Structure formats: structure tokens, C-alpha cells
Amino acid sequence: MNFSLLNPGRGLVVQAPPCPIAPPPPTANISRHARRSCLSEGGVKTWLMRISLAYSILLASSIQLLAHSINGQTIDKETVTIELENDNLVALVKKIEDQSTLRFIYLPEQLNKYGLVSLSKAKRTIKETLDLALGGTTLRYEQNGRYVVLSEKKENAAASTAPAVVSPVLSASLVKGKVTDKDGLAMAGVNIVIKGTTTGTTTDGEGGYAILAEANDVLIFSFIGYKTMEVEVGARTIVNMALELDVAALKVVEVVDAGYWKVTEKERTGNIVSIKAADIEGQPVYSPMQAMQGRLSGVYISQNTGLPGSGFDILVRGQNSLRSNFVNNGNLPLYVIDGVPYSSQTLESKRVSSMTNYGNPLNNINPSDIESISILKDADATAIYGSRGANGVVLINTKKGRSGRTKLDANYYQGWGRVSRKMNLLNTDQYLEMRNEAFNNVQMTPADFEYDVNGRWGGQRDTDWQNELIGGTSRINNAQVSLSGGSSQTQFIVSGGYYRESTVFPGDNDFQRGSFHFNLSNRSLNDRLKFSVVSSYVVDLSGLPGADFTGPALTMAPNSPLLVDENGDLNWENTQTPNPLAALLISNKSTTSNNVNNIQFDYQLLKGLVLKANGGYNIIRFENTKAVPVKAFSPSSGITQGYSEFQEATTDNWIVEPQLEFSKVGNNGRLTALLGGTWQQKVSRQKLAVAEGFQDDSALENPAAAGRYTVSEYTYSKYRYTAFFARANYVYRDRYILNATARRDGSSRFGPDRRFGNFGAIGAAWIFSDEVFARLFQSFLSMGKIRGSYGITGNDQIGDYGYLDSYTYMSNSYMGVKGLTASRMPNPDYSWETNKKLEGALELGFFQNRVALSVSYYRNQSSNQLLGYTLPSLTGFSSVQNNLPATVRNSGWEFEVNYNVISNDKLTWNTSFNMTIPRNTIVDFPGLKFSSYVNTYDVGKSTFVKKVYHSLGVNPETGLYNFKDFDDDGSVSYQNDTRFLKEVGQDYYGGLQNSFIYRGFELSFLVQFVRQTAWSYIRYFSMPGLYGNQPTNILARWSNSGESSNVQRYSPTYDATYFAFYDFSSSDAAIVDASFIRLKNISLSYKISSDFLRRIKLDSFRAYAQAQNLLTITKYVGLDPESRGFSLPPLQVFTVGMQIGL
Amino acid sequence: MRYLVIGFFLIALSLCLSCESFVSLDPPATQTSTQIVFSNESTATSVVVGNYIDMFNKGALTGISVTNGLYADELRLHSQVELVEYYNNALTSQNPSVLGLWSELFSYVYSANSIIEGLEKASGFDLSVKRQLIGEAHFIRALSNFYLVNYWGRVPLVTTIDYRINLNLHKVDVSMVYSSVVQDLVVAEELLYDDYSFFNGDRGRPNVWAAKALLARVYLYLGDWSNAEKYATEIINRADLFNLADDLDDVFLVNSKEAIWQLKSVYDMGVNTTDGETFILSAVPSRFSLSPTFVDDFDEGDQRKVKWVGVYEESGLRYYYPYKYKIKSGVPMPPITEALVIFRLAEQYLIRAESRANLSNFQGAVADLDILRKRAGVDLLVDSGVLDDTADLLKLIYRERKFELFTEFGHRWFDLKRSGESVDILSQIKGTYQKTDDLYPIPLNELNADPKLNPQNDGY
């Protein structure tokens, strides 16, 4: 193989090689054929392959894609120091290029015609040097910008054209031009090659190029992701070109971000899925989490509520850790934003925000600032993250500036959100019938306080509280402005955004976000030094009520009195349940500010050796003030003073990662190696304070006005992490790829002797479609790759200091003495959870990659489970940190299909499909029987399986739910008669996306599908017959002896009926199908053609309409199969907006 | 230059391999190592008082005035779902407040064990303080085990902080729990201060008299009448320390002479006692109130009904509430003048009366009862003829306990169980009380976490 096509560090001139390995035999007969044959024996076909190879090399070192700037030097000013002893002219030119920023354009054959020259060592201008060296030749030189063209003097060219050696070379002339994209923006780094030769060049920062070509030469323009264009030079000396995006090809050559390195989609050995800015822009979402839903295989994201700023659950390839509750969740992926690790947990404290769910850390990222989100899934991709990579890595890269003219982009949309489904609840007649029948069933009369049924509220009112409490329309406004541009050396982007979303609840509470993003990149003139700075600052202001009104909306009796009286005051007549609207009187304001900064330096020490340094700093601050005035309490509570709570939490995070990158291109392969180190520190602080004893409620937010101010909690924790890591990647003959990564890690979360661990992985890929035998299938098979990986990653997602035997001060004193309490049950002996990941995959591309298919199988075994091992409270604590010998296996299949159905000048139709079938098993759990997990997990079953009663339905005689008496002892008890019967989790899930582009119109939609089981409404509602509304499903209750029914009889009290109900809600009958198919997103936009825009002096204009959660098909009884229960479902959102570029 | 940079870089990398120290952290400022805590008088004291702070704040133990009141016949429930199970005597093993009480009591046992283990190793501070602290730990452990055995019967006896040992514990017989309670109290008696001077007269920390008061109660529960009488007498005889308050309104004041040990508020203002906070009505009750039948049962002219029962009237309806504690909190934030009395002299008179009645010292028993009846302004028994039957006298004693100790730390239900009348009396009122309701269910969470706690108590 001949790699000299690539001219590292000097990417501009891809000149025809002077056959450096085997110079052609000197011949007087210089012909085109001879020129080519010096390359290799293989002819045009092999040659083309090399061209593509050259491209991929260029991609691998994508840094070289961008061209040099224009330099002000001229040949008569710029000096070089050259010494030449019997060397040829090509060597001379190279030497000049070495010392100068000027580039030479020439045909090597012309230079090689002449003999060897010698020059004494001296400092001369380039002009002087050339004059001396070319003195004995008939060559002339001419500077054209930064190019120096060497060619035969016209008269000599003619003279030397002996009839026998007619060479087309001689008619070569300088062709210049500019390459742009469809929108007229300059494209840098476009490859231009003369068809049938290796002569070529690339465009500079302004899209300009220059090449020596003959009239009958055909120029081939190519660029990653764009359709390759061919054009004959003809008589022209200026050839401009506009390249068009090539959707089908895009996928294969796409550069994938793997965190510490980048890799092309084709040469990828690991499993990495990603979404791009374009995918995010089509969705009216406030969180990147929402944007990812349904689009990525192996990644399951569910939204907990429809409140802005709310929580999400994310599982990348299943539940690896048995720690799965909110406060101690070992299944969170590692988030890395622009190279800075980002907290996986929110700072919000349940004590203050008192929401039923928590937020998500990614809510503090503006989706509009994101360029791409990549999720690393297998060992090959994640092992380089060592002890943190077990649950996958989510890499978020924010937008970077691009060279070109300065562009102003503004985007605004307005939207409306609502709850799209309502539950069918009992009306007043049905409700009172239920309550009365319940009392009749037990021959009781309603008590004094049972206003709903004892006549106090009567039966006149009939309110569907869903309309009153969650029936509103939320308003969404989103505005984004960005300014970007730069030269080939320096690029920048500055953007700002504002987002506001109100709620569907009564009241005018809202969630707002302001964001600022900045990026500056620079490369030095000689291309050696590069640096970039990214900084983003996002402030979320949440004024949402501290309660979700969905629960009251579903459970308040339909005959309840109105919540607000005619004076607009809260109506406390309704003392049976608290007035939910009291939450609106409580001011609950929180501010979360998130500042991510990253600076990156690359310095090329030697050819193929780059020193990199990456430093990042992230600070997240959360402040919450909750002021509870007296009027928020029922008068009967006796509370006569308001109070307020204050929370402040900060997390500071810094990271420094020096790295050394080495690359070498050999005859048959390419080696890339990386060595690096990580030092990371995270400090979290949290302070909670309560203020009481205010003179009046107007000063509640001022702690200084309080009679008593108590710091009820102050926590501080520090986490430190360090590592040494290495990666080696070898690509042999462009089709055999080996990738090895290793990391030695230390984490402060473990006891003194357990802090360090080793992790590593090996990945391999074989691109068999490039093999000779694959030519048989080349008519349809354009890409075929088999890849696999195996490795070990770790998990240190536990609290800090778990090994420390210590006491913590309490917030109160007793008789003047401050209290101390044991911090935890200490254990110095635990260490990493290890996760062994195995993966195999097949990737195929058909018909010029119009159809791309990928199938992956994975198997992750997570062992040495780090558990907050549940202790019985007789030990004094509810848990102790420990490693359990349990092993959890997550395996599964992932499918991705991309089909570029139609791609012509008018219409593009692309469809893509992804699906994941996850399986989860507890493979081993020694001592389970005697552990505190005996009722939670079972060996051989999934971690999602629930130990439940087996329901036998309603006994026709008693009207009560019956359960299987497994031990046949005549009574049903939790201890003896529950079994691991049913799972609550996903069977499979995926998404189908279609996008159509027709002229200026673009339509895309995403259908998300999830096959899953979940707890039914029974789990959330109280027993039918008690106070509280119910779904109409319960009307089918048992009422007479001998009747068969699915719903047991009503009861107003906690009797045997209640126990039966209680057990029923923990039975297999309460786990139901919650599968759904959702039209998750639909987006329609229209882009006005540039001709028209030019007239109105606009660069671009796009108008669009989008809808989110438009339609959901499910059998699940409830507001939503995803959020379930009493939380606000994900809203149905409609937006209209426009985007203007100036 | 280049080589310099590379060299520097490689050195930096190799440093990383030995950067053990980078990831070893000092304890944060918010945490003090156990070793330091127990080698210092003030921090060790802080660990001990941490228990009282927890008692005040966690509220499961102090809340037994409410839960036992509902479970027995003192309180009427208005609405509160969580408490319905108490009121209906239909506790489930999933009841969160049953779990709360269980784990709170065991957390004191853990703390007591950690203090005993920590201080026995520690050296270097005042011996009398150290003795007092270890004594308090034994007292706390005894108190916790006393309530554990009364709620759950057979429970494990936890004597170390090592969870690996504790995970292997089995439940032991009731008598073994009691004998451990007695042992702890005997040790506490040895170690604790014998008056209040060490705390400047403050009755908020247990001293030897608290240990004796609990011992008297324990012996009473065990039917060891002579020991019960002996300990009650020892306390009653210390008139220099303890007197019955003349005015019923003064019994529950801070440092009342009647109090043997009281739990002080951890605040300077506001909530004085949880009882005052939860019982006193300022509106139509939405949770619970004092049962009208209970109120009606008082003797004519009983000053305890006048002074210790509050009335709230609205739209012609009367609601009663326990008014032993007068301060609810609210505006203006009151200074702390009341404290939750856990042991008081009146109970010792009742203990002695019951012991004497069982020992056939009828005169002595009547005399003890009359001391309380006199203060309450009701007829003296000594005037109503000769009482020489143990059973008759016990009935009177239990009745006296009912009105003297109502809604105070759960006495009523324990007395009903002790007298064997719980089913008779409570099933008349609620119809749902069964013999198995004399014990609480072991929380399901605990059974799950520790299968050795099986079997569950009968009836659950």
C-alpha cells in the first residue's frame, strides 16, 4: 500500500507521488499511462480504492481536514535556508515547503525530467532559491496566493514536445474555484482529485482550491457525507462546485465521538449510538433526555411526570446493579459534557422540593446547545472510563463554531401542552352508590367526618376534578439566538436561549430557563497548536407548585365542595382531605445554575505525536426557598404561624486529563495509540435550614425575620478519582481493526486498601466487504462488518465515605449539649462492582449503503454487587455498604435499520428503525436465602420480578379476592404464599422514524413502541368503598352471593375486605400489560428557497410545526402507561416556530 | 524542548501510578471519627444526648401516647388513614409507624451499645462523668428493651454494634428480655448520679432515680411485688427530691418536683412537648380527640377531669382533649416551660399501692391511692369502709391508674394487657379487639431483612 497520498501536517496539497518506493525507470516516453503505472500494478480500480483509503485516513485524522489560512508571504520576501547536495527538484520543493507556509503545485514528472542539483547552505528568499535551482531548466514559477505553480515555460513546453513524446501534461493549466454547500456556505477540506490520477488537493478555509489540470481532465469533488461530484474542466480556469448532502453515505463515514478519541462509523469496533443536533431540533423538549427517547437502541428512558424539569429514568442495557432506588441507584450512566464528568444525580432534596419525583441532572442542559449525544454501550467503548463505565457513558458535545462568514441564527417557537388522556372516573351518583353500598355491606353508618357520604356535601355537585386540576393548557415559549463564524484558524459560536413552560395546573406557576453558550477554537498557523474553550451557563428557575395535582384530580370525591369559595379564598369546608390548592399558596422557588467549562490543548510535538491536555470545571448550584404561609393550612390544624425552608446545594467538579497521542502510518496499516491520566475531584455541599416564628407571613422568604432559624442539615462530601489509561488501535489493510483499552483506576469511595482497580477491553472488527471474495456480492453488498468486544468495566456509584467509622453532629441540642449521631454502619472492606461485557455485532450496508443494517448481541455480567446491603433495623441501621457475591446478567439483542428509500433531486425519504430486546437474570446469589434480599430477588429470575400472591379472582361466595394457598396451610400469608411470579419491566422497545424532504418541505415523525408490564391502577388507588374516587372499572364489583366478578365487594373500613384488597394489590393480578405505541414526535418544516431569500437579504428561513406525544395507543388503565400512577403524564405538546439565519 | 515536554509528561503519568495519596481523603469537617468522639468528655456526652434528641424528634416512642391511646379506649379517631389501623386494632405488618417504633427503639439499643463499647475502651476523662454516661447507656438500653418486649413479646437481645453478629440473632423469650432489662438497670443504678445537682437541678437527664423508677415498673410488670414496693418506696422516701405537685396544673412543668425524668424540648421556643402539640384542639378535630365515654367515666368532682381535660366547642358540638400539657405552640412562640414527663412520682405511688395490694398490705395500698385521690379532690377510699380484698383493691388501683395516667406514655393499654382485661374491655368498645392484638406485628420489612425474626406474631 502506498500511503504517501496523505501528507500529514500538510493536508492541502495532495500531490501525485513521485513513486517514492519504486521510482519509474527513466524513460523519455512520459505518458499518462506511465504516470499512473508508477503507482502500482492494480490499475484504476485498485487506485480508486486507495483514494477511498486516503479519505478514511483523512477522516481518522480529522484534524487535518481543515485547511490552512492564507498567508501574506510572497516568494520574494519569505526566506528559507536550504542546503542541497545532488538532490532532485522534488526534494528541493519539499524542503522549501517544510520551512514555509507556501505550497507548490507541480507535476512531479516535469520536475523529475531534470537532473540533480546542489545548493550551498544559505539563507535566501524563495525567489532567489528557485532562481538558482531552476536556472538550468526550462521551468518557470508563478505565485498565486499561497500557491507557487511550477510549470514549463510555454515556448519550451512547445519546443520539448517531440512528436514521439506528446504529453497532455504540457497543456496543463491552473484551475481555481470555490466549493460550497447547497446553501452557498464555503466548505473547507473538500478533496479534489483529477479522475484517473492521484493528483489532487483539498480546499482551504474559504472553500478555495487550485490545481493543475488539463482541459479534458475530470475533477472529482468529494467530502464526507456529501455526494461525490465529477466535472470536466473544459476550457474553464475557474470551476466552482456546490456539493449536496448524501444521506445514504453519511452513515458509514460519519465520525463518531468515542470520548477520548474519534472514529469513523466504518472503523468503529465498539457499540456507540448517537443522536445529532438535527434530531433534537425537531422536538419541542426541555431536556436532552426527552430528545433521546425512542431513538437509541439499548437505551431505555422513561419520563416520570409531565412537569417541566421533572425526572427521568434511564437504563443503558438494563439493570446491572441491584441498587435501584432513587437515593442509592447504581444504574446511572456516566455523563460527560464536553469532556467534563457531570453529576448523575440531582441536587434537589426531597425535604424541600417535596415533589413526588426528582429532577434529572440533564435538565440543566439546554438541548439547543447540543451538537451530539453519543452513548457508549459495550466494553470496547466504555472500558476506558474504568470504574465508572459499567452503566454506559453518555457523551454530550455542545455546538462548536465553524469557519465561514459570521452567521446569526435565531429560532423561536411557541407551544401549548395538555394532558391528552383522562381516566374514566365515577360520577357523583356512582360514587355515592359505591360509598353507600360499602356501608351497607358491613352494616355501618358513616362517621361524623365522612362528609362525602354522611350528607354534609350532598349529592348535587358532580365534578371531574381532572378538568379542574390538570385540565389546563400549559404555554411554552422558546427563543434561541446564536452567532457563529470564524476563519480557518479561529472559529467561534456564542448563543443564548430562553425557555419558559407553564403548567396545566391552576395558577400561573412556571419553569424558566436561560442559557448562554460559548465556544472558541483556534489553530496555529503551522497547525501544531490547537486549543478550544467551551463554556456554558444555564439557569433553571422553577416556580412549580410543590405538589402534583394529579393525585387529587383522580381521587377527590366528585361531590367535594369547590376548592375556592366565592371570595377567591380556599374553601376549607373540605376538611376530610387537605385542600390541594393550598400548594399554590406555598411559594416554592428554586434556582439551579449550571456552569460547564472546558479547555483543550493539542500540541503536535513531532510528526504523529500529539500532546493533549484537557481541563474542565463544572459547578452546579441549587437553591430552593419554600415559604409556607398560615393560609396554606386548614384552620382546624391550629397552626397560626407560617414557616419557611431554605436549601442550598453545590457540586464543584474539576478534571485534568493530560494525554499523549501517537499515530503511525505504515505500509499496511495504521497504528494509533493514546496514553493519558485523569485527576478528578468532586465536592458536594448541602445545607438545609428551617425558619419559624415570623411576625407575619410577608417576610417568610427573609430568614433574618424569623424567630428561630435552624440549620437542620449540613452535608459535605468529597470524591476523588484518578487513573492512568491507554488505548491502542491498529487498522490493518483497512479491514482488520483491533482496539485495546486499559485503565488503572483509583477512587476515594473505597476503603484504604481497596481503592485501585484495573479495567480493560479489547475490540475487533473485520470489514469483510473489502475482501476480494466480497466482490462477488458487490452488486448489492456495499459494506459488511463483523465486530466484537470483551472487557471489564467497574462501578463506583455509591455514596462517599462508606468505609469511615464516624459520628455526625445533629442539628439540635439537648440541655445545651449538641447531639452526635453515628454517621453510618462502617465497612472498610468493599470495592468495585465489576461488569464483564461481551458483544458481537454484524453491520451490513446494501446498495451503496442505502440500506444499512446492524444487529448486536450483548451480554453483561455484573458481579461483586456493591450494595447498600439491607440490614434489619435491630442492627441500628437500615443498610451497610458491602459487596455481595451476586451476579446479574443483562443480555439482549439490538437491531438498527436505516433505509434511504428515495433519494433524488426532488424527494428524499429516509426511514430508520431500532429495537432492543433486553433480558435480565440473576445468575447467582450465594446466601440469598439468608440475606435481606430473600423477598426481593430470586436466582434464575429477572431483577424486575416481583414476589406476589397468585390471585384466584373473587370468591363468588364471600365476594373477596382469593389467593393461592401455596403451602396449603389454610391461610394466606405473605411469608408463605407469595412467589416470584411476574416481572415489572420491558420485554422489548424501540422506535421507527421516517423523514421526508420534498423541495423545501421536511416532514419527520417518530413512533415509539414499548412492550412492558407495570403495576396497574389498583396499586395506586385506595380500596373501592373507602373515601376517594375510583376508575369506573370498579363498577363491575361483586355485590351478591354467587355472583362472579373481577372486582371484590366494597367496604368502607379496614376489615377483611381491606386485607384482601391489600394483598390483591401485591398480587400477580395487579401487574398488567402497560405496552404502548406512541406517536412520539412529528415535525413539519418548510425552508424557503435561497433565491427568494437573497432578495429579502436573508440567509435562511424555516417555518415549522411540531407535536410531541400526539397519539398513544395502549390498553393500560390510567393516564399514561409511561408515568403511571398519580403523576402528571408526559404532556401532548404542539408548537409552531420559525428559524431565521442572517 | 520537545523531549523535555515528553519527559515531563511521562513523569506526570508515572506519578499517577503512585497517586495513592490523591484518593485518600481526610474525614470531612462534618464527621468526627469514632475514636476521637469517645476519647473526649464533651463529644461522648453529645453521643448520649443524641438519643434524647432523637426521642424528641423522631417521635415514635413519644408518640405512643397517641397510638396506645387509640389502640386502647382513651382516644377517638376522626380521620387519619395511618392511624385507622391503630384505632381498629387492625395493624398490618406493613404499617409504617409500627416499623418506625421498632426501628427507633433498636436505634437506641445500637447507640447504647456503641457508647458502652466506645467508652469502655476510652481513657482520659473524668471517671464520674464516664460512669454517668455508661450508666445512661445501660438505662437507655433497658428502656428500649422494656418497650420492645411490651409491644412485640419475643424479640432479639442486641448487645453489640457488630452487625455481622446481630444478623445471626434469634428472638429470645420474654423473661430473658426482662432479665436483661433488670440487669441493665442494676448496672445503671451503680453508675448513675444520685441526684440532679450535676445537671444544675435539671431533670432532663436520667439519674439513679430514673433507673429505680423503671426498675419499680419492671418489677411490677413482672409481678415481683416486693421488689416493686422496695424501689417505689426508695423513691417516695426521698421527699428532698420528689414531691407531688399540689396543683395539678404544675405536674408537667419543666423541672417539676414530681418528675423523675422528663424529656426536654430541643428548642428554645415553640414546641414544648409533642403531647401538647398533638392533643390540644384549636379547631374541630381532624385527627383524634379524647373519647367522650372516657371523659364521662371520671368520678364526679375529679379535678383531673377539670384540669387535665380540655374542651373545644364548635356549632354545638363538644370535643375533648387531654390537657395535661397546656402549651400547643403557635403564636407567639412560647418559651419552653413544659417537658414531657416519662417518670413521675404519682406512678410510684400507684406501683406501691398495687404491690402492697398484692402483698395484702391493704391499708398501705389505700393510703398510697388516697394520696393521689386527695390531690384529685375525690372521695378518699379510707373513708369508704374496709377494703381487704386484693381483687377489689386492684380494680380500684387500675381505675385510679386510668385517670391519673391517661394518655401518658401508653400506660392505659399496658395496664389493660397486664390485668388480662384487654380483650374484655376493648372488644366491648370496638368489637374488633382479639387476644392476638396484645402484641404488635413484626414489621414486614424487618422480616424480609432478617428471616431469623420469623415466626411473625400470631394473628398477623
The ipTM is 0.92
Check CB contact of A1054 with chain B, cutoff 8 Å: yes
In this complex, do B27 and A449 lie within 8 Å of one another by their Cβ atoms?
no
Interface contact flag, B282 A638, Cβ < 8 Å: yes
pLDDT at A166: 37
Q: How far is B263 from chain A (nearest CA, A)?
A: 9
* Cβ–Cβ below 8 Å for A638 and B446: no
Contact (Cβ atoms closer than 8 angstroms) between residue A193 and residue A212: no
B23 closest CB neighbour out of A638, A755, A810 = A755
Give how far A845 is from chain B: nearest CA, Å.
42
Q: Does A821 reach chain B within 8 Å, measured CB to CB?
A: yes
- Select the residue from B30, B87, B263 to test the A interface by mutation, using most A Cβ atoms within 10 A: B30
Please tell me the predicted confidence (pLDDT) of residue A857. 97
- Do residues A268 and A259 make contact, with C-beta atoms less than 8 angstroms apart? no
Express as a percent the part of chain B with pLDDT over 90: 73
Measured between beta carbons, the chain A residues lying within 8 angstroms of B169 are: 874
C-alpha count within 13 angstroms, C-beta hemisphere, residue B121: 11
Which residues of chain B are within 8 Å of residue A831 when distances are taken between CB atoms?
none
H helix runs in A904-944, sequence order = none
Of A809, A880, A934, the CB nearest to B448: A934
Asked if A1009 is an interface residue toward chain B (Cβ–Cβ < 8 A), one would say no
From A819's Cα to the closest Cα of chain B, the distance in A is 4
Rounded mean pLDDT of chain B? 91
Strand intervals (E) in A10-57 = 13-14
Judged by CB atoms closer than 8 Å, whether chains meet at B451 and A934 is answered as: yes
**Chain A residues with CB-CB distance to B85 below 8 A:** 1054
Which of B448, B456, B460 best tests the A interface by mutation, with the highest count of A CBs <10 A?
B448
Reported confidence tier of residue B60, pLDDT bands at 50, 70, 90: very high
Measure the CA–CA gap between A601 and B113, rounded to whole angstroms: 57
Q: What confidence category does residue B10 fall into, taking pLDDT thresholds of 50, 70 and 90? A: low
Using a CB-CB cut-off of 8 Å, the residues of chain A touching B102 are 873
Give the gap in angstroms from C-alpha B311 to the nearest C-alpha of chain A.
14
Q: Which residues does chain B have within 8 Å of residue A814's beta carbon, measured at their own beta carbons? A: 49-50, 52-53, 56, 204, 264, 266
Chain segment B340-354, per-residue pLDDT in tens: 999 999 999 999 999
CB-based contact B269:A707 (threshold 8 Å) = yes
Give just the sign of the alpha carbon dihedral A399, A401, A402, A408.
positive
Nearest-by-CA chain B residue for A725: B13
- The answer to whether B285 faces chain A, any CB pair under 8 Å, is yes
Write the residue in B29, B32, B448 that is nearest to A935 by C-beta. Answer: B448
CB contacts, 8 Å: A640 with chain B: 282, 330-331
How distant is the Cα of B106 from the closest Cα of chain A, in angstroms? 5
Which among A637, A747, A815 is the nearest to B49, CB-wise? A815
Among candidates A641, A812, A876 on the partner chain, residue whose Cβ is nearest the Cβ of B161: A876
User: Exposed/middle/buried for A115, CB within 10 Å: 0-12, 13-18, 19+?
Assistant: exposed
Residue pointed to by grid coordinates 434524647: B52
Per-residue pLDDT at A4: 36
* Residue from A636, A821, A873 to probe the interface with B (highest B Cβ count within 10 Å): A873
- Distance between first and last Cα of chain B: 80
Binding-face residues of A in 947-976 toward B, CB within 8 A: 973-975
Between CA A246 and CA A264 the distance in angstroms is 16
Q: Is pLDDT above 90 for B133?
A: yes
Instruction: Give the A:B interface size as CB pairs under 8 Å.
Output: 259
Say how many C-beta atoms besides its own lie within 10 A of residue A568's C-beta.
6
| CB contact A660 to B (< 8 Å) | yes
Contact A658/B13, CB-based, under 8 Å? yes
pLDDT above 50 (res B269): yes
Residue found by looking up cell 425557555 in the block: A499
- Chain B residue closest in CA terms to A745: B17
Roughly what angle, to the nearest 10 degrees, separates helices B345-358 and B208-222? Answer: 30
Chain A interface includes B267 (CB < 8 A): yes
Q: Å from B412 to nearest chain A CA?
A: 24
Selecting from A638, A817, A934 the residue whose C-beta is nearest the C-beta of B330 gives A638
Position B25 scores a pLDDT of 87
B27 contacts in A (CB within 8 Å)? 801, 804, 806
- Kindly list the residues from chain B whose CB atom is less than 8 angstroms away from the CB atom of residue A609: 6
Q: What b/e sequence results for A131-141 when a residue is b if at least 16 CB atoms lie within 10 Å of its CB, and e otherwise? A: ebbbeebbbeb
User: At CA A1037, angle to CA A1032 and CA A1041, rounded to 5?
Assistant: 165
The dihedral region occupied by A1132, where left means phi > 0, alpha psi between -120 and 50, and beta the remainder, is beta
**What SS3 string covers B380-404?**
CHHHHCCCCCHHHHHHHHHHHHHHH
Q: Which of A643, A810, A832, A875 to mutate to test the interface with B (most CBs of B within 10 A)?
A: A875
With beta carbons less than 8 A apart as the criterion, state whether A100 and A78 touch.
Answer: yes
User: Which residue among B42, B99, B205 places its CB closest to the CB of A815?
Assistant: B205
Asked if the C-beta of B433 comes within 8 angstroms of chain A's C-beta atoms, the answer is: no
Does A753 lie at the interface with B, CB-CB under 8 angstroms? Answer: no
The minimum CA-CA distance between A386 and chain B, rounded to whole Å, is: 15
Residues constituting chain A: 1142
- Best residue in B3, B5, B6, B16 for a mutation probing chain A (most A CBs within 10 Å): B16
CA atoms lying within 13 Å on the CB side of residue A1129:
27
* Rounded Cα–Cα distance for residues B270 and A702 (Å): 19
Residues of chain A with pLDDT under 50: 1-71, 156-170, 350-357
- In angstroms, the separation between the Cα of residue B16 and the nearest Cα of chain A is 6
Measure CB to CB from residue B269 to each of A676, A693, A1058 and give the nearest one: A693
Q: Indicate yes or no: CB of B167 within 8 angstroms of CB of A575.
A: no
Chain A, nearest residue to B47 by Cα: A820
Q: Residue A504: what pLDDT?
A: 94
Between CA A322 and CA A938 the distance in angstroms is 12
pLDDT (mean) for B95-120:
95
Predicted pLDDT of residue A53: 40
Work out whether strand A986-998 and strand A907-924 pair parallel, antiparallel, or are unpaired: antiparallel
